[in-house]
Amino acid sequence: MTSDLHIVWHRQDLRLTDQPAVHAAANHKILPIYILDDAAAGDWALGGAQRWWLHWSLTRLAADYTALGAELMFARGDAVDILSSLAERHGAAALHATRHFEPYARRQEAALTAAAPCPVHLHASGYLREPGAVTTGSGTPFKVFTPYWRACQSLGAPGAPLPAPKQLSGTRNVSTERLDEWQLLPAKPDWAAGIAQMWTPGEAGAHAQLAHFGPERAQLYGTDRDLPEKPGTSQLSPHLHFGEVSARQVWHSLGNRMEIEAAEPFIRQLGWRDFSVSLITHAPDLPEAAWSPKFRNFPWRDDAAALKRWQRGQTGYPIVDAGMRQLWQTGWMHNRVRMIVASFLCKHLLLHWRHGEDWFWDTLVDADLANNAAGWQWVAGSGADASPYFRIFNPIAQAQKFDPQGQYIRRFVPELADLPTKFIHAPWTAPQNTLTSCEVVLGKTYPHPMVDHSAARSRALGAYEQIKAA
Ligand code: FAD
């Protein structure tokens, strides 16, 4: 027998405002559920930093539901089986979810639609424009960002966000697992202290961060976005990834039409987010395989020791080490520095971009299958609309340009903090007496550069020569 029960399946949409699945179910009896289904995600099951985030985001979502009169249910296992039997058991009238575009998420949606004993409604996700909404004149997906973005802009403002429900009617007699049984938080050692200091997961945390960024900073984004020591970017990425805020909520928070126009360089980044997800929809193997076929035979090196030094921020290049340590300590890294450390891994060390992608996957609180794969392939030169391979970032020149006073380096590489600005970007160029007076002993308190920039550059270009003609 069918009841008036509507099930809402939460995934990367952990919010109640502008949440189309919740909105559609809000006038019925509602049973919201989150299912931890690591097996479905396979190699892309959540990494450590995101498990920490998920714990707190779900804790807050559950509290928000309770305040409105419903209980969020937790379950682990095969999402399709769990949802189908839940719907069967309760005689559910419908099942709602927002669309997701990771290859495994799309497989789950297809399987659920086939297996569920009730209608399955898939609602719009948290993007400005979903994959498929913006196509070339011939109906194919864009493979180059600039024309893609022009086509998006011609569509005007995204629709207004949906309101939050004022009250919900939950259902009783639901057996739920306890979130703390899932052991999403690190125990021994508890490496999350720096992450906890920087972030407040959950919908309220997302809106506090959005308000903190605000229209004024959004308008300054074009000038400040490349300086890692400034709060020039929004730091909304984990909130956007977990769907604690939608992209159109961000857009509409930026003010009137003129203010939104002035914030175009910032909004364009939301466009890159949409572009990346449209790429992965088109090429589901984007996280595993080079978009450009000629890169599939690139002569990558194998060097576990070098990879470890990169991961630990011990390369001897201060800007690279600062970035890798920022990542480890806070679960996030500034975009400019992501590009520098990624270029260093793929080009200076000639290590496969997949090693970097995996490390980011485990350590970033904003790890996102589409953005991470597209970001790595962009830097490696193998992606759609990628930076050309022969564009090899010079880590010293990049540091001098974007961290001219070395404040960012001093913050994350404290053993160099006393060095004069003149030497902070390349400590090995400092005279011995300066190093001594600043208590820097190269090879002891801070490493010698693990590769010589010019030699590494030539080696990378030589490797590229081998595939260039292919
Ligand atoms: P802002 O500059 O304030 O931008 C606003 C939002 O736009 C971001 O929150 C993000 O959702 C989106 N965005 C910004 N830049 C990009 C971009 N280049 N591509 C796609 N979306 C973008 N971003 C992730 O969200 N997850 C990842 O796993 C990820 N991995 C990356 C790996 C590499 C090697 C590189 C070079 C970039 C990666 N990025 C990733 C993109 C970018 O670095 C981050 O989105 C950004 O640094 C997040 O900080 P923010 O929220 O302050 O961004």
Report which protein residue has its CA nearest ligand 1's atom 30. 372
Among residues 82, 63, 72, 2, the alpha carbon closest in space to that of 30 is found at 72
Ligand 1 centre to CA of 22 (Å) is 27
pLDDT of residue 1: 63
Question: For 386, which DSSP code?
Answer: P
The amino acid present at 352, given as its one-letter code, is: H
* pLDDT value of position 391: 87
Under 8 Å between Cβ of 219 and 262 = yes
pLDDT of residue 390: 86
DSSP notation for 232-287: -S---HHHHHTTSS-HHHHHHTT-SHHHHHHTHHHHHHHHHHHHHHHHHHH-TTTT
Task: Evaluate whether 108 touches 40 at the Cβ level (below 8 Å).
Answer: yes
Is the four-CA dihedral 403, 268, 207, 191 of positive or negative sign? negative
Q: Determine the distance separating the centroid of ligand 1 and the alpha carbon of 240, expressed in angstroms.
A: 10
| Joined tokens for residue 177 | 């697992």
- Our separate counts of H helices and E strands in the chain read 22, 6
Atom of ligand 1 at shortest distance to CA of 238?
25
CA geometry: angle at 193 spanning 75 and 40, to 5°?
A: 30
- What gap in Å lies between CA 340 and CA 323, rounded to an integer? 9
**pLDDT single digits (tens) 41-52:** 999 999 999 999
> pLDDT for 243-267, tens place per residue?
999 999 999 999 999 999 999 999 9
pLDDT of residue 368: 98
CA of 467 to the centre of ligand 1 (A): 29
Which residues have any ligand 1 atom within 6 Å of their CB? Answer: 225, 233-237, 240-241, 269-270, 272-273, 276, 335, 338-339, 342, 360, 364, 366-368, 371-372, 375-376, 379
Q: Which residues contact 295 (CB under 8 A, 6 or more apart)?
A: 380, 381, 382, 467
> What is the model's pLDDT at position 172?
78
Calpha distance 57→79 (Å, rounded): 19
Q: Report residues of the chain scoring pLDDT below 70.
A: 1, 470
